[in-house]
Each structure stands twice: as C-alpha cells, then as structure tokens.
Amino acid sequence: MINSRTMRSGLFLIAVIATVVVSMFLWSGCDRPQDVSSPGSSDQTAPVLNKENAQVRAVMAVQDRYTSDLMANNNVVGTATGLAPDGRVAILVYLKEEAKSPIKGKGISAAGIPAEIDGIPVVTEVTGVIRAMKKGGPGGGGGVSHTAKQTAPIQMGTSGGWRDDLANGYCCGGTLGSLIQKGGNQYVLSNYHVFWADIVNGGNGKTAHVGDNVIQPGLIDVGCNASNAQNVATLSGSGSLPGANVDAGYAQVIPGMVRSDGAILEVGTISSSTVGASINQAVKKSGRTTGLSRSKVSGLNATISVQYDNECAGGAAFIKTFTGQIVIANRGSKFLAGGDSGSLMVEDATTNPRAVGLLYAGSATSAIANPINDVLNWIGGATMVGN
C-alpha cells in the first residue's frame, strides 16, 4: 500500500535480549530484469529444490526448530531456507544491520549468529528493517502503463484499490493482481492491506465493508479523486487478517469491467494450474509501480513479522507473524516496490505461466509472497482464471 505524500539457548555463546518483533510494513511497479538467467539456461539435471526435496525438508525442520531462538536476537528480522554460497542448502538469517561490535567466539559470527546449527550451514544477510514503501513512484515498464485508466474491460497487474482509501491527508492504493473464480463468479485478487486495512473511522470517517467499490486506477494515480477512476469490482468475503496466515482480499467483478480471461498486463493469460516455489526458481510479476519485473526465489519457509496500520497513513493496528512464506531477491527494489502489493508472482514462462505466490511486502533487498495455494485455500474453493 502507498500514499500520495508522502538454539536453542546452548547454541549461542552470547546472551540474547528480550524477543523483539521487527516491523515489516506493507507494500502497497522494474525497469529491467534482475538477478536471474533466462528460464532455459539452468542445468536441467539439477534437482528441484522445493519443499518435497529431502535436503530442503531436512533443513526446514532445523530452521523451524530454532527460529524462535534466532529471532530473540534483536538484530534478526526473519529466517528462511535457501542456499549457502557454496551451493549447500542452508538456514538463512536476515539482519537489520551489520554488527557494530563484533562478538568473538568459535563458530559465532560478528552478529552473534552461529555459523552452523545441527550441522546445517547458517548464512546471514543484511536486509535492513523491512518497512512500508509509502511513497509513490512512476508506474509501468516496457512501454505499457500500469497506472493509466484503462478502457473496460481492464487487464490485471494494474493500479487499483478501495474507492475510499484516503485519510489523514493521504490516499492509498496498490495493485489489482489477478483474477480468480469461485462458485461460478469471478473476483479480483489483491491484498488485505490494499482492500480491507481501514478498520477505524479515524481520518476519513469510514471503514471498509462488503459491497464497497474497488477502483482502477487507485487513488494514488488519480490525484486522490475517485471520480477520475472507474469502479471495477465490489469487496467480497472479508479481509484475511489478523487471523489468517495470508495477506489477501478479493472483490467480485462488476460485469463487463474486467477481462474474463484474466489477462495480466505484459504477462497475458496465465494457467489455471499453480506451482509451488523452489529455490532459484525464475519468477516474474506485473504490478502498479515496477511494471513487469523478473527475479528468482531465494528462500522458502520464511518466518517474518509484519506490522499493519489501521487506515491510510494511520496508526499501528496489529503485528502479524507469517510462517511458510516465499522470499524473492529484490536488489534495489527492482522486483517489488511501493505500490506493487497485490501483484501475482508467476513462473517466468512465456505462455500461460503458473501462479506461484501473492506478493505483499519486502525491503530494498528482499520481497515476500504468500504461497498462492495458501491464498486460494483461505478463500475456499477458489481457482485461478486461466487456460
């Protein structure tokens, strides 16, 4: 979401301070691909490092066992399973900053993190504090605008959001990511914090309700004046948070306003099938701010804590710790930036790619996505609209 203005104990050789939940706020648009080779360039004989891989499963089990202890270090923002520089499957530990005062000890890094746990290598990465990207930027890539008002029926991968998402002198929005279907009806899929995050009357005297309009483009791209946008869907069901392990929201399509084939800007139609994430998997997405961008999956099974606001530019609402998340390389925010929340992440295939995850948060080094099947299962009986 954006606004217009603005290990256990014995494994540690040091004492850890009280558990600190590191805030990771909400992403509400890349000029070129980054950090990934062409889909066909990888070694086709290499094993697929997904959650069914025995090595990955073994490391994930150790990661899960020690995550709470690792995150008791006030410099740790999260953990995941990924690769060490030498290619071994490893535990990844994400840090707010480089250690300022090196801690000496055999097998302990300067940040106070063990070099290995139960024989599994541990790799630290400085991501910085993962926070909200609440500043708008130019949209689109490849000559296609992801912020312009489209002629109906519209494509997905475009600027959009709740029609009344403005408060405290700001207006907010994100990305209308993809099209799903359930019970014979079609719905626009995005994030909870794009559709439902206004939960107090506060700065605009309103909260989000079923039946409220979803617009294209979002308020951020029409000068905070909803009359310059178009209604394309109406809020349905409920937002997923704070109870669920996904950041998702959906809105029923207004007849004639959204392409019924689910086409996404610069991606085209997708498959009705989905695919699980794997380490080093080539992926792409189409979003409001960075347009069409590409990267690769860098971590699986991530545990991340996220702080949510109670309305556009509002106060803190709650903190949610997600588990089982997907981490994607995002150097320089070139894959995901403020305004891209709600984008659908798909495999980097030319024709009818399969959905992998729903993007919702990140930093200037890493992006975070819910596994897409977790999202569809939360909605209940939903499937992707595709071929």
Structural domain count, the chain? 1
In a domain, 245, yes or no: yes
Residue range(s) defining the domain that contains residue 243: 158-253
CA distance 149 to 158: 9
Instruction: Identify residue 355 by its one-letter amino acid code.
Output: A
From 253, 258, 284, select the one nearest 355 (Cα to Cα): 284
pLDDT along the chain (387 residues), means of 10: 48 35 39 37 73 97 97 92 97 86 60 92 87 44 83 98 93 95 97 94 94 97 95 96 96 98 98 98 96 98 87 86 96 93 97 97 93 98 97
Q: Whole-structure pTM over 0.85, yes or no?
A: yes
In a domain, 147, yes or no: no
CA distance 67 to 346: 28
In a domain, 168, yes or no: yes
In a domain, 194, yes or no: yes
> Residues with Cβ < 8 Å from 213, sequence gap 6 or more?
162, 163, 231, 233, 234, 235
pLDDT at 68: 95
In a domain, 169, yes or no: yes
In a domain, 92, yes or no: no
In a domain, 296, yes or no: no
pLDDT at 345: 98
CB 215 within 8 A of CB 333: no
pLDDT at 50: 97
CA distance 219 to 173: 6
pLDDT at 128: 80
E strand or H helix at 76: strand 76-83
In a domain, 229, yes or no: yes
